[in-house]
């Protein structure tokens, strides 16, 4: 599973070359907003009481080679994936039939479902939904065949690093264009990373939802805005600000940021107005009020963010409002790993074809090709055998219903992990065959504490898309554009870039 392209890539760096590249990279990062706030691990909070300091996002010093055919296939399929997840979200019955298996083993899924049911009972007042998605892939290497595109996961909430991904592409493109930045190497002379329009695509989706919301539902009319719901203490703020900058600067749409723990203080849904507009009351201008057309969640994707019933109340409050949610609770649930596993089932009903009604079967077949084999752990099923057998476990990863990495169980750890858990909980997990990335890929990472690490790496390609639809299934806007490469040291199994053990990267297509 070696790929020849990596044999002498990236070129070795002399200490002076490395010093030059590191200085150029860390300065470029701050000059251009390719930045994060430092974590307590690299800077104690009391060293920066006013939280003014920033550092470079973790990045690779070189772009990584990536197979052009896989890159182009991922782009070609994104609007079909957008359509698929919109259709799944519209089919509450089908979605519910899968979710119901998870409810008694997964509190988080259960609470999301309950939130949906509560709003359903009251009646939804907004029939539009917005998705900003990122579909993650690896280039899967098999002997004597061209690499193929395999999906790692599909993100339906808070798809992050769109803002920074375009910047890391610009960083590498600029280094490639600067004489002597890199030691001579044929691959580094061969071209430049392709354009990266993530910021335009994602903010374009938010702008479409804003427009589709229509006029104010308040009496008298209120000015309209988009609301970013963010985590308290967010360190990846510059990634988010790249999107809001485009929304305000290009689309001329006011954007405000509300921390998830302040939603109930700073927003309201007037009881007297059956249209249930979501009103934002800026604490910095208490006499003003805005009506929120679109709620963009960069928070509330993970169970640990719901620290009390107040958080669930806030989530329900947003859900029942007239604002377009990005995503709705149902759309977030559609991102459960279980859904991806059911879609990938080779036997049984052809879900893909029913959801992608009208799509060319050849395209559906190509989309199906991106699925890695994945299994539930039901008694007597193939998945259970593969997971418990130490030999076959080595080729698999065990995933809960979460996004964002940090929760997966890998290889040899799978059998013991399962046996330590009541069998009744196993249905909360999905077993997926590991994708085989090129074994000899290397790169050099500049961490956000300035340490430089060289070694074997695994890269994951994310492709961004956005879709706006009506609950009837009618699609209003469906667009793809932009990409992200995340590259991590091979000894590290997880891909959470923000945690610092993974780097933002870009691609050189071959």
Binding mask 210-229 for its own copies (x = CB under 8 A): -------------x------
Here the tokens at position 231 are 């985590």
* Residue closer to its own copies (CB basis): 381 or 450: 450
Beta strands in 211-311 (DSSP E): 224-230, 255-259, 267-268, 278-280, 290-298
Strand duo 442-446 + 452-470: pairing: antiparallel
CB atoms within 10 A of CB 118: 14
Is residue 178 involved in binding its own copies (CB under 8 A)? Answer: yes
Tell me 367's DSSP state: H
Cβ(78)–Cβ(468) below 8 Å? no
Active site residue 160: yes
Here the tokens at position 240 are 């988010």
Is residue 189 involved in binding its own copies (CB under 8 A)? Answer: no
Give least dist CB 217 to its own copies, A. 19
Active site residue 134: yes
* Residue closer to its own copies (CB basis): 53 or 421: 53
Of the listed 39, 181, 302, 404, which one is catalytic? Answer: 404
* Residue closer to its own copies (CB basis): 131 or 163: 163
Is residue 296 involved in binding its own copies (CB under 8 A)? Answer: no
Is residue 493 involved in binding its own copies (CB under 8 A)? Answer: no
Cβ(70)–Cβ(142) below 8 Å? no
Please give the annotated binding residues, written as ranges: 134, 153, 155, 157-160, 234-236, 240, 298-301, 337, 399-408, 410, 432-435, 460, 486, 488, 494, 497-498
Q: How far apart are CA 434 and CA 341, in angstroms?
A: 14
Q: How far apart are CA 384 and CA 393, in angstroms?
A: 10
CB atoms within 10 A of CB 362: 8
* Residue closer to its own copies (CB basis): 56 or 196: 56
CB atoms within 10 A of CB 180: 8
Is residue 14 involved in binding its own copies (CB under 8 A)? Answer: yes
CA distances from 443 to 68, 84, 446, 497 (A): 19, 35, 10, 15
Q: What is the DSSP string of 152-163?
A: EEEE-S----HH
Residues between 417 and 476 with contacts to its own copies, criterion CB under 8 A: 448-451
Active site residue 486: yes
Binding span for its own copies by CB under 8 A among 65-73, 199-207, 244-252, 477-485: 244-252
* Residue closer to its own copies (CB basis): 51 or 490: 51
Residues forming the site for its own copies (CB under 8 A) = 14, 16-17, 19-21, 26-27, 30-33, 35, 38, 43, 47-56, 174, 178-180, 183, 223, 237-238, 241-242, 245, 248-249, 254, 282-286, 288, 448-451
Active site residues: 134, 153, 155, 160, 337, 399, 403-404, 486
């Amino acid at each position: 599973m070696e790929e020849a392209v990596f044999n002498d890539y990236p070129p070795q760096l002399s200490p002076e070359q490395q010093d030059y590249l590191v200085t150029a990279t860390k300065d470029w990062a701050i000059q251009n907003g390719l930045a994060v706030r430092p974590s307590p691990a690299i800077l104690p909070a009391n060293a920066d009481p006013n939280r003014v300091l920033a550092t470079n996002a973790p990045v690779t010093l070189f772009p990584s080679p990536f197979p052009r055919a896989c890159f182009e296939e991922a782009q070609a399929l994104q609007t079909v994936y957008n359509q698929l997840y919109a259709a799944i979200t519209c089919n509450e019955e089908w979605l519910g039939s899968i979710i119901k298996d998870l409810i008694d083993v997964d509190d988080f899924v259960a609470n999301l479902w309950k939130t949906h049911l509560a709003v359903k009972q009251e009646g939804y007042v907004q029939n539009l939904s917005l998705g900003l998605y990122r579909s993650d892939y690896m280039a899967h290497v098999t002997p004597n065949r061209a690499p193929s595109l395999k999906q790692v996961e599909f993100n339906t909430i808070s798809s992050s690093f769109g803002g920074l991904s375009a910047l890391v592409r610009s960083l590498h493109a600029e280094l490639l264009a600067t004489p002597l930045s890199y030691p001579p190497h044929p691959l580094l002379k061969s071209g430049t990373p392709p354009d990266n329009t993530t910021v335009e695509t994602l903010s374009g989706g938010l702008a479409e939802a804003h427009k589709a919301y229509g006029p104010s539902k308040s009496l008298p009319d209120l000015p309209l805005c988009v609301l970013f719901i963010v985590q308290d203490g967010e360190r990846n703020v510059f990634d988010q600000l790249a999107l809001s900058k485009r929304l305000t600067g290009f689309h001329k749409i006011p954007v405000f940021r509300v921390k998830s723990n302040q939603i109930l203080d700073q927003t309201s849904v007037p009881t007297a107005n059956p249209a249930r507009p979501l009103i934002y009351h800026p604490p910095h201008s208490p006499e003003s009020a805005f009506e929120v057309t679109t709620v963009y969640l960069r928070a509330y994707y993970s169970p640990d963010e719901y620290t009390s019933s107040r958080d669930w109340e806030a989530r329900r409050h947003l859900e029942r409002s007239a604002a377009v949610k990005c995503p709705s609770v149902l759309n977030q649930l559609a991102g459960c790993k279980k859904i991806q596993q059911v879609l990938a089932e080779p036997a049984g009903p052809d879900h893909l074809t029913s959801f992608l009604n009208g799509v060319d079967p050849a395209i559906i077949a190509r989309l199906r090709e991106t699925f890695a084999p994945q299994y539930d752990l039901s008694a007597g099923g193939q998945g259970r055998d593969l997971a418990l057998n130490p030999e076959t476990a080595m080729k698999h990863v065990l995933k809960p219903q979460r996004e964002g990495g940090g929760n997966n169980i890998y290889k040899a750890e799978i059998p013991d992990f399962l046996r330590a858990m009541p069998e009744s909980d196993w249905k909360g997990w999905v077993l997926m065959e590991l994708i085989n990335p090129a074994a000899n890929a290397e790169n050099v990472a500049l961490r956000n504490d300035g340490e430089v690490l060289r070694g074997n790496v695994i890269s994951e390609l994310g492709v961004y898309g956005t879709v706006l639809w009506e609950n009837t299934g009618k699609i209003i806007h469906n667009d793809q554009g932009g990409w992200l490469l995340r590259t991590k040291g091979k000894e590290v199994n997880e891909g959470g870039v923000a945690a610092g053990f993974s780097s933002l990267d870009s691609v050189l297509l071959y």
